[in-house]
Structure formats: C-alpha cells, structure tokens
C-alpha cells in the first residue's frame, strides 16, 4: 500500500515537472514560431527563389551570410552582369539593365572573402560581365582581412537564433504588436512601404535586399532609424579616430594586390569581361581625407596600379571625377541610388556596360531624383517621402 502511494506521489511530481517545462517552453516556441513566420528560418535558396516570384524585400536580423544568399541569387537568376564589391556597390539596381543582373555587393569585403566568392560564383555560373567596386582599404597594409575560418551561417534554425526574438522583445526592439502581428496576422507589411517583406528587418521597415541583391536602406530613408551619420559626423570621426578603413598608409600591401590581380585574371580566364571602379566617398569625407593632415599615398599607388591592369578602370575617388551631390549619399561612405546610377552611366558611356544598360531610363531618373538618395520606380509601393536623414538641409 505504501509503495503504491509512493508511486502516485512520484508520478504527480514528474507530471508537475513536465507541465512546468512545457509551460516554460512556450516563450521559446513562440520565439521559433516568430522566426518561422518572419521568414527567418527560410533557406537562402528558398528566399532567392521566392523573391523572384513575389518581389519581396529580404532583410534578416538573424542570418549573417550575405555571400551564400548572393550565390543563391546568382544560381536562380543566371545573370549576364554581376556587380561585386562591398556594401558600397549595393545601390546599383536591376531596373536600369536590359538583361539579367545581380548585385552581389557585400560579398567582396576584402581579398579573403572576395577570392572565395569569385571562385564559388564560377562553380555556379559564368556571367558575361563582372563589375568590381574596389575599396581602397583592402590594400591598406594595416587592414585585417576577416577570418574565414569562423565559418558562415548557412541559414535555417540554429541554437543561438532561437531566443533572439525574445531578446528583442525584452530590449524593446520588437514591440508586442509587431510580435503578435507576425505570429498571428498576415504579416509582411509595415507603415513605410507597401512592399512584401521577408525577415525581421524587412518586416520593420522594408530594409533589406531586393530580388536583384541590391540593398534598400529604407530604415534610414523613411525614418525608422534616425541619427545615423548626421552631416557625416560619424564618418569624419572615423577618419580622425584611426578607424581601420581610414588608416594611413604609404604603400599598398603587395601580396594583397597580387592576389587581386590574380582574381581579375581568373575572371578573364573564365570568359567574362571585367570593369573596375573605385566607389566614391561623400564629398566632405573625401575633402577631409585630402586636407593634407593624413597621408594616403597608398591610395594613389593603388589607382596607378588599377589603371595599369589592362582592364577598364574608373576612379570615382578623386574629387574632380564625381559629380554627385552630398544629398545623394546614404552616409559618408555609401553612395545612394542616384550617386550610384551616375557612376553606372558614366562607365556605360565608355565601355561594354552600355550594351546592358537602359541609359535613357537612367538619365530620366537622374533628372527626376537629383539630390535624393532613393529612386522610386513604382510609386504605389512607397507612400512615404524620403527624409533629410543626414540632416544636411537637403530638399527632398
């Protein structure tokens, strides 16, 4: 009799334990459900495919590997023209091109990541033309390449992602309304645009990658995130503060240069044409770098080497080369849509890029959006006006 009672007691204890664990697991399950409903658990391939059908913006807050995502876009879109480079080339848009195009910006962040991406891209597809935006700091002797050994996030559900929505919820980054709307509602929309959205960042403000891989800084343009680089103050502080990308240097890092040259030769050997350019900096930033207080002799050496490489090269770093206005930048180092399209037009007029570009549309939009950072193609998608987000007094 005593034993039977004991069994009952322990059975009740275990039941209580299980029920407690199940109840405690509910926030975790909701968190996973949120990630699922927000599209954060979708694989890169599925995202790339889905974007082509729906035109959604993909802005993840948990998946960190732009490279793998861009490779999937290349696999899906089989582009004639690919733009490579860092985040500074990401405003070149497919709407201006007559043929298939992928903006693989943010995949060539330095020589380590660039070499790897090019090699992986040619395993998937051979584009006809590759345009590379070259950042000068890749060749700064003090600049550190990223550690590739750290591995890449292949997307999907991993242990460290599961609780992120709960963390956002606790820190106030994710309002309860948005949390509930994403889980239980139709999801996908926000007050800034009428675009479809995939991923937490995109759901918030439609900030993220368009179906061509180009990036949309909607969180800044339309006011969700304010106070980033006002009057380029943050970028200017990076110059004087010795930020790694603005380190001084007398000579380029030879071994990285040789690797870059080998990468260009590899692309040519695959049968693609190559165009190189150095993306611009906002005019005040360029002026601060050129005021003589800091020594950037290595950039001039880089420009000479690029000119002598035997492929078309266009330098938009020199002050007299850029015709962009300060209001056309996203911040001190990222040219906006208009500034980027000015570059594309200039290159197209003198190279094979012209064969792929709808120059008439580019000119039309440049006229229409002069002094803006963001170009709109479909007004029904953007009910909100671009703001003077850099606090420069720009009329938008």
Applying CB under 8 A, which residues contact other proteins? 3, 6-7, 9-21, 23-25, 28, 159-160, 162-163
Least CB distance to other proteins at residue 63 (A): 16
Task: With CA atoms as reference, report the closest residue to 216 among 348, 356, 366, 87.
Answer: 87
DSSP state of 293: S
Least CB distance to other proteins at residue 34 (A): 14
Are 81 and 101 in contact by the 8 Å Cβ rule? The answer is yes
Task: With CA atoms as reference, report the closest residue to 203 among 37, 375, 69.
Answer: 37
In the complex with other proteins, the residue whose CB is nearer, 21 or 269, is: 21
Least CB distance to other proteins at residue 182 (A): 20
What would the two tokens of residue 358 be?
């709808």
- Classify residue 106 as left (phi > 0), alpha (psi -120 to 50) or beta: left
Are 209 and 50 in contact by the 8 Å Cβ rule? The answer is no
In the complex with other proteins, the residue whose CB is nearer, 19 or 148, is: 19
What would the two tokens of residue 114 be?
């660039």
Least CB distance to other proteins at residue 59 (A): 23
In the complex with other proteins, the residue whose CB is nearer, 37 or 161, is: 161
Least CB distance to other proteins at residue 109 (A): 25
Give me the DSSP letters along 217-237.
-HHHHTTSS--SSGGGHHHHH
In the complex with other proteins, the residue whose CB is nearer, 157 or 180, is: 157
In the complex with other proteins, the residue whose CB is nearer, 21 or 176, is: 21
Q: Is the dihedral of CA 229, 232, 233, 236 positive or negative?
A: positive
Least CB distance to other proteins at residue 283 (A): 37
In the complex with other proteins, the residue whose CB is nearer, 27 or 271, is: 27
What would the two tokens of residue 261 be?
């040259």
């Amino acid at each position: 009799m005593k034993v039977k009672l004991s069994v009952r007691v322990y059975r009740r204890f275990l039941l209580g334990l299980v029920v407690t664990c199940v109840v405690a697991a509910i926030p975790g399950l909701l968190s996973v459900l949120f990630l699922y409903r927000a599209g954060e658990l979708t694989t890169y391939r599925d995202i790339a495919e889905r974007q082509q059908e729906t035109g959604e913006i993909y802005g993840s807050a948990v998946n960190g590997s732009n490279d793998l995502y861009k490779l999937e876009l290349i696999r899906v879109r089989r582009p004639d023209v690919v733009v490579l480079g860092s985040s500074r080339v990401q405003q070149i848009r497919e709407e201006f091109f007559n043929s298939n195009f992928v903006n693989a910006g943010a995949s060539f962040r330095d020589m380590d990541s660039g070499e790897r991406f090019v090699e992986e891209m040619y395993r998937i597809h051979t584009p006809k033309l590759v345009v590379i935006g070259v950042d000068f700091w890749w060749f700064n002797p003090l600049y550190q390449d990223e550690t590739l050994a750290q591995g890449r996030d292949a997307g999907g559900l991993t242990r460290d992602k599961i609780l992120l929505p709960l963390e956002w919820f606790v820190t106030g980054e994710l309002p309860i309304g948005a949390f509930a709307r994403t889980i239980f509602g139709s999801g996908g929309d926000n007050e800034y645009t009428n675009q479809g959205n995939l991923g937490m960042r995109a759901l918030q403000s439609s900030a993220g990658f368009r179906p061509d891989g180009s990036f949309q800084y909607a969180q800044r343009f339309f006011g969700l995130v304010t106070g980033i680089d006002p009057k380029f103050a943050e970028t200017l502080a990076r110059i004087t503060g010795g930020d790694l990308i603005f380190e001084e240097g007398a000579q380029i890092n030879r071994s990285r240069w040789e690797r870059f040259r080998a990468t260009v030769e590899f692309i040519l050997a695959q049968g693609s044409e190559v165009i190189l350019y150095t993306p611009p900096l906002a005019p005040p930033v360029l002026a601060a770098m050129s005021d003589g207080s800091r020594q950037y002799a290595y950039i001039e050496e880089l420009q000479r080497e690029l000119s002598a490489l035997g492929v078309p090269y266009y330098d938009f770093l020199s002050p007299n080369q850029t015709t962009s206005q300060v209001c056309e930048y996203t911040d001190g180092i990222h040219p906006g849509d208009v500034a980027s399209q000015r570059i594309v037009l200039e290159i197209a007029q003198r190279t094979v890029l012209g064969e792929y570009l709808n120059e008439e549309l580019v000119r039309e939009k440049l006229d229409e959006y002069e002094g803006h950072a963001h170009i709109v193609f479909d007004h029904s998608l953007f009910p909100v006006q671009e703001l003077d987000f850099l606090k420069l007094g720009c009329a938008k």
